[in-house]
Structure 1
Amino acid sequence: MSEIRIQKTGTPDVIASSDGRLTLSVPIQIKRRSGRKLVTLPNGETAKARPWDASATPLQLALARGHRWLVMLESGEVKSLREIAAQEGVDSSYVSRMVNLTTLAPDIVAAILDDALPNHITLFDIAVDPPVLWKGQWERFKIVS
């Protein structure tokens, strides 16, 4: 059976028992940060890149909205983009532009999710009348694939 004891002081240590088990002793501190527990090591070090600490970019949010709204439309939950707009309290042209994002090439979607698109590309550039063919998208947005 595992046992976890939190000790705030001391040095890391490994203890071998006679039955072959090892006990690892690491002093840590657990702090609350924005409702999450954060483990801090004795030297004050914490995890550097935690995915849940990064907030989504406007482009990522727009992509997620577009996909959610397309699913609502395809599943029959709503009958039209106007109905989605009324539910969300936004303009129907905005809903249409966000749904356009669902037709983007997979590598462009990956670049949006990785926040790796070139800085000159804006949400407006991508969402308003994107080319249907992926090659046309790469040429219009000057992305080499």
Structure 2
Amino acid sequence: MIPERRLSGDGDALTIRIPMRFERRGYAKRIIGPDGERVVVEPAPAGLEDPLIRALARAWRWKRMLESGGYGSVGELAAAEKVNFSYLCRFLRLTLLEPAVIDRILEGREGAETSVEALLTHPVTLGGQAGVDRFGLLPAADRHFVLES
């Protein structure tokens, strides 16, 4: 079956309709295509919807706002952003992550146990490679440098 394509009257929007149905098997949901075959959907690569990337972006934005001189203190920035002072401070620590760690997060290669909550409650900063390895963020080639904690 050929998908139905339709261009809007003003030519700004293209609508493509592909007939499919959804099946539920326990908790799993499956997409069944027009030919009756199951459609396998690959997970999307890390992008702006990734909470870790959003957390890094927020931390770096706040750091730039402080460094630009627009706010005299972290307290002023927290009040302006309507967030708790300690919350903002925890996020700012993310700007101190090892560059290799930031690269792995941006490339979507962080360990499965890595989460925003974990990074905020167990900060991993420059020189803190034991923590980096705990989250599976340190590249394999660098793991022989891990400090014992």
Aligned AA for 1:105? E
Length-normalised TM-score, structure 2:
0.57
- Give the alignment partner of residue 100 of structure 1, picking from 75, 93, 96: 93
Instruction: Report the alpha carbon displacement of residue 88 of structure 1 after superposing the two structures with TM.
Output: 1.1
The CA deviation string for residues 66-124 of structure 1, in whole angstroms up to 9 with x for no partner, is: 00110111111111111111111111111111111111122221222233212211112
Runs of 5+ in structure 2 lacking a partner?
Answer: 17-43, 140-149
Paired residues in the alignment total 110
Counterpart in the other structure of 1:76: 69
- Indicate whether 1:143 and 2:137 are aligned: yes
- CA change 1:39–1:75 in 2 (3 A) is same
Counterpart in the other structure of 1:60: 53
Counterpart in the other structure of 1:5: none
Instruction: Report the alpha carbon displacement of residue 130 of structure 1 after superposing the two structures with TM.
Output: 2.2
- Indicate whether 1:121 and 2:114 are aligned: yes
Q: Which has the larger radius of gyration?
A: 1
Structure 2: distance between partners of 1:116 and 1:30: 39
2:52–2:105: 8 Å Cα contact kept in structure 1? yes
What is the aligned-residue RMSD (CA, Å)?
Answer: 3.5
3-state SS, counterpart of residue 132 of structure 1: coil
The CA deviation string for residues 39-68 of structure 1, in whole angstroms up to 9 with x for no partner, is: 86xxxxxxxxxx9xx652221111111001
Length-normalised TM-score, structure 1:
0.58
1:30–1:38: 8 Å Cα contact kept in structure 2? yes
Runs of 5+ in structure 1 lacking a partner?
Answer: 1-27, 41-50
Structure 1: distance between partners of 2:136 and 2:59: 23
Structure 2: distance between partners of 1:73 and 1:130: 21
Aligned AA for 2:97? L
